[in-house]
Structure 1
Amino acid sequence: MLYSFLVHLVQPFLNLINGRPIITGKEHLPAGNYILIAPHRSWMDPVLLALAIFPKKFAFMAKEELFQKPLANWFLRKLNAFPVNRANPGPSAVKTPVRILKQTDLATIIFPTGSRYSAKLKGGALVIAKLAGVPLVPAVYQGPLSFKQLFARHPRKIAIGEPITIDRKMKLNDEKLAEMEQTIQAAFDQLDQQLDPTFKYQMPPKPSDDQF
């Protein structure tokens, strides 16, 4: 209930200060559950992607440090977020999203790089997709990267690509993981070019007190 309430509160506010977003490729979204994968470029990514896909609802991975305060813990869990230790992810980092994808009507958003300060793809989303039996749906976001930049009226743009099916019989060895990661990166690059052929993402330096 809080999830839907915030969508109907935040979306009109963002449209007021920044204009309506440009969203392409929604026809590629499967009817059932799936994992939406995207490059992590802003702390706003999960919010903006979730707004673009609504009324489909999502569960989110979030760094466990964000859950330390009781109010934040309650709020994040109401938004379908669950904690993950990014430095040392345990079995729950896979088991929790697999359970959610299999047993609920929630899809999941995963950023394969794991951080805004890394360009290296990791294989967790592939493992989760295989175990849950759901496709990966690539997406990219271009636009303001901070709340302040929203007021400059540079448009929020999101492109969604065709689903990538993971064969449940596939052995995810190092060679296959590398091959699939190349497929995912190629999908991201194609979507970026589709939105803006001149786009080039500049990775920000990692601050010492990274909170998101």
Structure 2
Amino acid sequence: MFYAYLRGLVVFLLWIINGNVHYHNQDKIPDQDENYILVAPHRTWWDPVYMAFAARPKQFIFMAKKELFTNRIFGWWIRMCGAFPIDRDNPGQEAIRYPVNMLKKSQRSLIMFPSGSRHSSDVKGGVAVIAKMAKVRIMPSAYLGPLSIKGLLSRERIDMNFGAPIDISDIKRMDNAGVEEVARRIQEAFDQLDEENQSYHNAKKPSVFWYLVRIPAALVAIVLVILTLMFSWLASFVWDPDKHRK
């Protein structure tokens, strides 16, 4: 329940800030009963929110660097939303074992970003191995839009596009050749989605009257954020998301 609430709250905040998002090909997203790995080139801190919101009501787990869990409130938030900490310098077997088990035994899918950082080659291998072990498909998506807070505030257009799920069941072994083939298929899908996004994209922004709608919505959002912060701080002392997840 908290996952759905926080996802909705963040999207509500982004709607107030930007209000110019467009989703494409959501019909390609697998049914709620199927688990999968949702992947995209990682371009902003808010693109996973749009990814998760587009695929609702499906809920997701995701990897996050361990440093993000040091803040009491934010760490509790992301744990409640299915995040699990990863040491990027020494990920260990748990980085594979935990998401595989969740994909097999729970109703949650996995969000991963197989490109966009200096760890991209390792993550591409992780996507391939997890998908193979969990016997799930890989769902490609791509974000096109503002990459800065200034761009969001100026209401630059956002396009979130989804491609056909990638089936890797024909790849027998996840050796170097197998991982390279999975990475090739993912990159090919990303390139196609980016090309499609360019055709959708334009510089048109919502009317200036949009600000009149956002003013009362912003007041509501401020109240919700304050209440959520207070609740989360208190709840973090009595509810351990990791313990209850296990």
Q: TM-score per shorter chain, which class?
A: 0.7 to 0.9
TM-score, reference length from structure 2: 0.74
C-alpha distance after superposition, 1:118-173 (max 9, x if no partner): 66562110100111111000000111223332111111211100011121761111
Partners of 1:165 and 1:196 lie apart in 2 by: 26
Residues 89-129 of structure 1: CA deviation (Å, up to 9, x unaligned): 1001001111111111111100012x546665621101001
2:11–2:49: 8 Å Cα contact kept in structure 1?
no
What residue identity is the alignment partner of 1:39? Answer: P
Give the length in aligned residue pairs: 198
Q: Which residue of 1 aligns with 2:176?
A: 174
Higher gyration radius (CA): 2
Higher deviation after alignment, 38-47 or 4-13? 4-13
Match of 2:54 in 1: 52
Change (3 A) 1:62 1:27: same
Compare the two structures and name the one with the higher helix fraction: 2
How big is the shift at 1:9? 2.1
Task: Pick from 140, 152, 156 the counterpart of residue 154 of structure 1.
Answer: 156
RMSD: 2.1
Query: Identity rate of aligned residues, in percent?
Result: 41
Q: 1:1-212 maps to which residues of 2 (within 5 A)?
A: 1-31=1-31, 32-113=34-115, 115-116=116-117, 120=121, 122-167=124-169, 170-196=172-198
CA distance in 2 between partners of 1:169 and 1:119 (Å)? 21
Give me the whole-angstrom Cα distance separating, in 2, the residues matched to 1:62 and 1:79: 11
Q: Aligned to 2:184, what secondary structure does the other structure show? A: helix
- One-letter amino acid matched to 1:145: L
Q: Which moved further from structure 2: 173-182 or 6-15?
A: 6-15
Does structure 1 conserve the Cα–Cα contact (< 8 Å) formed by 2:20 and 2:155? Answer: no
SS at 1:122 equivalent: helix
Quote the residue 2:240 is aligned against.
none
